Amino acid sequence: MQEINGFKVSDSVFDSLSFKKEAPKKNDSLEKGDFLQLMMAQLKNQDPLSPEKGSEFVAQLAQFSTVQGVQDLNTNFQSMTSSLKSSQALQASALVGHTVFVDSPTARLSNTGEILGSVTVEKPTADTLLNIYDSRGVLVRQELMGPQDPGEIRFAWDGRTDAGESLPPGLYRFEAVGRVDGENVGLKTTLGANVNSVTIGAGGELMLNVDGVGPKQVSDIKEIL
């Protein structure tokens, strides 16, 4: 008795089969036709005094069908995954040059001299303050936003100091603070930035290279302008 890919086949079956002398195949696994041929030969050459039970053949057939089904499913899934990644890459490439909103404390001030953003308020604030720092950590602007209800507070900074002086292009950091129940609480800032390029990783993951922010996943994008 010999075993091939989980199937028990008697020696007499191999003796009765006439295999053509061909160049060896690269794939040694049993195909549907090979399995049926082996099963029929095993039925013909079984011992009449000790015949094989039909349940054993049914089990072998069920096992073969399961393996074949899993292989087909894997092939179809891989094809679908490849098509999906290609579609996502095309969609992501369309974002290059657009302004997107992402959760970030920093953004780059361009020559146009404006940074769009929002502050997320989760609990009502008695007062709200937005601080803006330059790349050296120097406070260059403070904006009082007053009491706020839960929600998104939109703002647009024109790149000027409190004294009205225009600041040069570069990276700036935003810090939002809310007065909640008598305590100062840090609030999340979402800033608008330009998508410079799209990177596809070795595993197929897509990353947007956002100016002044760094790489971000497509799922991190809150809004597209």
Residues 113 and 209 in one domain: yes
Alpha carbons within 13 A on the beta-carbon side of 73: 6
The amino acid present at 212, given as its one-letter code, is G
d(CA 192, CA 129): 19
Residues 35 and 126 in one domain: no
Mean pLDDT, contiguous 10-residue spans, the chain (225 residues) = 51 51 53 66 66 61 66 66 62 83 94 90 96 96 95 95 94 96 95 90 80 89 89
Residues 89 and 103 in one domain: no
Q: What is the pLDDT of residue 5?
A: 46
Q: What is the pLDDT of residue 58?
A: 63
- Nearest CA among 193, 198, 196 for reference residue 90: 198
Cα 149 to its chain centre, rounded Å, is 34
Domain count, the chain: 2
Given 41, 70, 93, which residue is the final one in a domain? 93
146: containing domain: 99-224
Residues 109 and 215 in one domain: yes
Residues 141 and 194 in one domain: yes
Cα 22 to its chain centre, rounded Å, is 46
Q: What is the pLDDT of residue 113?
A: 77
d(CA 179, CA 133): 20
3-state secondary structure of 2: strand
d(CA 195, CA 223): 12
Q: Whole-structure pTM over 0.85, yes or no? A: no
Query: Element (H or E) spanning 192, and its range?
Result: strand 183-200
d(CA 32, CA 37): 9
Q: What is the pLDDT of residue 140?
A: 96
Q: What is the pLDDT of residue 149?
A: 96
- Nearest CA among 172, 180, 162, 178 for reference residue 117: 172
d(CA 63, CA 57): 10
CB-count burial class (<10 Å; 0-12, 13-18, 19+) for 9: middle
Residues 141 and 208 in one domain: yes
Q: What is the pLDDT of residue 205?
A: 77
Give me the CATH number covering residue 160: 2.60.40.4070
Handedness of CA 143, 114, 210, 121 (dihedral sign): positive
Residues 63 and 108 in one domain: no
3-state secondary structure of 62: helix
Residues 32 and 85 in one domain: yes
Residues 70 and 142 in one domain: no
Q: What is the pLDDT of residue 4?
A: 47
Residues 148 and 163 in one domain: yes
Q: What is the pLDDT of residue 94?
A: 82
